[in-house]
Chain A
């Protein structure tokens, strides 16, 4: 059944369908309506869950960590400075291998204070060991929340489901509401291999020595480095599991997609624009316009940012003349983080083949600066003609 709702409602409905047991959140614009909806579902008895209002984002994730450690399916959501305030617990959740799902409703970070959209918040959490997935419309938001729980629980790694603040969170559009019985078939109840049990007290994640050591049972236990290396290995292997999640989902719901990238008119393209989130759909309109002008261009959305689907990206861009990376975030002092990651993947797979594309970087929509479709088209048109600048260029900048 199709309904018309905003992106926050799509996320909330997804969490409800996943039967999350514990929700802990602190309100922050533009995430607030999502957690308001969830608290309504719990209050009205539509959702059997514990809704725990907390005094900060740090506590929100701390509650989810405790709940998940005790075997509950936990959810939180935040934006911008709220996510930054959580940062210590963000690292803890992945280190503790807890399958928490968190929506990040992308918003610019202060200073200066700003409530509008860009992606600096989630991009700044790139190296925390979470899986990060970006959504381009409401169908992707609700479907991704459902897939995220399955994936997180398969690989014991938390997942951030990221979607653009306001542009998606507050915009209404139609999407198909998955049937509850199909969601139940896709996502069985959470049964972790190990969880806290008051009858068998245990310490979790206490001081772990640099070297391996004998544990209380006399068994050789991992040192800190082994534990962290396993997180890295399992994150890389999660790409495989993400593929399985997509197949399972398609089998039950009939919506099939490449889990990692979303190419549009890329097959015969000489140039490909690349980005994360809703801007990749906006660039489809630019691509249609430029195609009508005879420019062979396509656009590719990157859905998984961590683990980075390097092979899928490099093979999709093989043989292209130019790649145009348009980002709503920046690794200050260098270039867009996606730009660096993408170039690294191209180098790994295409160096020495003589077909490394020219890669250019554009920064757009920072702090909610409106991205006019005409400006975006003009940028892609100019970039397709040849390299505009070595440094990242800011679209719509008025300096």
Chain B
């Protein structure tokens, strides 16, 4: 992966918090020296539960192109059922990374050209004390485990800051457990 410019596309459902998660990663990237970070949600006629997408571009230089990502380096999928509903690997670069929240075993998936990282974020988040279905902080732990991009400590402090009035410890813990338990591989 070219670490000068990284394109991450997030797939979630309306209300799942994909935009907040992408925003936390954007903040951590900026804090770690990426001068250009742009997080652009794709807007349609959203409603709770419908598939939604957001683009996160991270660059060493200011970003002038705000158009949606066409060839991501990484896709983050907050719900494994989206694999059937949306073309989540569309344009994903060969050798690209898929970060997937799923209760299924890593071995039950086969992606030819991509590297897959999985964790049961839904269960992990409940274990961390969050309400069922809150997965947007846990998935950040999985993303970091799969990519080694920004460092888990920086991301966790970003989570604690974003959620300072809404269970900062539990959200941080979800990311920490997810980071430890994510299965990453070919």
Residues of A within 8 A of B (CB): 2, 4, 30, 115-116, 166-168, 170-174, 278, 281-282, 284-285, 370-373
Contact = CB atoms under 8 A, between A and B. Distances in A.
A371 B67 contact: yes
Given A4-B30, A173-B37, A372-B70, 7 more contacts: A4-B37, A166-B41, A170-B40, A170-B43, A171-B40, A285-B65, A373-B65
A278 B65 CA distance: 9
B13 interface: no
B26 A172 contact: yes
A211 B39 CA distance: 57
B34 to A, nearest CB: 9
Given A4-B26, A4-B27, A281-B65, A171 B39 contact: yes
Chain B: interface size category: 10 to 19
A173 B23 CA distance: 9
Given A282-B65, A285-B64, A370-B68, A174 B37 contact: yes
Interface in B6-64: 23, 26-27, 30, 35, 37-41, 43, 63-64
A173 B38 contact: yes
Nearest to B67: A373
Contact of A278 (B27, B41, B66): B66
A174 B63 CA distance: 10
Nearest to B68: A370
A281 B66 contact: yes
A167 B39 CA distance: 10
Given A2-B30, A4-B23, A4-B27, A172 B39 contact: yes
A282 B66 contact: yes
A284 B64 CA distance: 7
A174 B64 contact: no
A282 B40 contact: no
B35 to A, nearest CB: 8
Contacts of B23: 4, 172
Interface centre among B37, B38, B41, B67 (most CB of A within 10 A): B67
A282 B38 contact: no
A281 B64 contact: yes
Contacts of B35: 174
A206 B27 CA distance: 54
Interface centre among B37, B38, B43, B68 (most CB of A within 10 A): B43
A166 B66 CA distance: 10
Contacts of B39: 4, 171-173
Contacts of A373: 65, 67
Contacts of A30: 43
A78 to B, nearest CB: 18
Given A4-B37, A370-B68, A372-B70, A173 B63 contact: yes
A372 B66 CA distance: 10
Contacts of A167: 40, 66
21 contacts: A4-B23, A4-B26, A4-B37, A116-B43, A167-B40, A167-B66, A171-B39, A171-B41, A172-B37, A172-B38, A173-B38, A174-B37, A282-B65, A282-B67, A284-B64, A285-B64, A285-B65, A370-B68, A371-B67, A373-B65, A373-B67
A174 B58 CA distance: 11
Contacts of B26: 4, 172
Contacts of A281: 64-66
Contacts of B43: 30, 115-116, 166, 170
A30 B41 CA distance: 13
B104 to A, nearest CB: 32
A174 B64 CA distance: 12
A264 B41 CA distance: 27
B108 to A, nearest CB: 35
A168 B63 CA distance: 13
A173 B26 CA distance: 8
A373 B69 CA distance: 10
B161 to A, nearest CB: 11
Contacts of B63: 173
A111 to B, nearest CB: 17
Interface centre among B30, B40, B64 (most CB of A within 10 A): B64
A316 to B, nearest CB: 19
A167 B63 CA distance: 13
Nearest to A375: B67
A171 B30 contact: no
B30 to A, nearest CB: 5
A285 B64 CA distance: 7
Which 4 A/B pairs are nearest by Cβ-Cβ distance? A281-B64, A172-B39, A171-B40, A285-B65
A304 to B, nearest CB: 21
Interface in B103-125: none
Contact of B67 (A4, A168, A372): A372
Nearest to B56: A172
A174 B40 contact: no
Contacts of A172: 23, 26, 37-40
Nearest to B38: A173
Contacts of B41: 166, 170-171
A282 B26 CA distance: 20
A113 B181 CA distance: 47
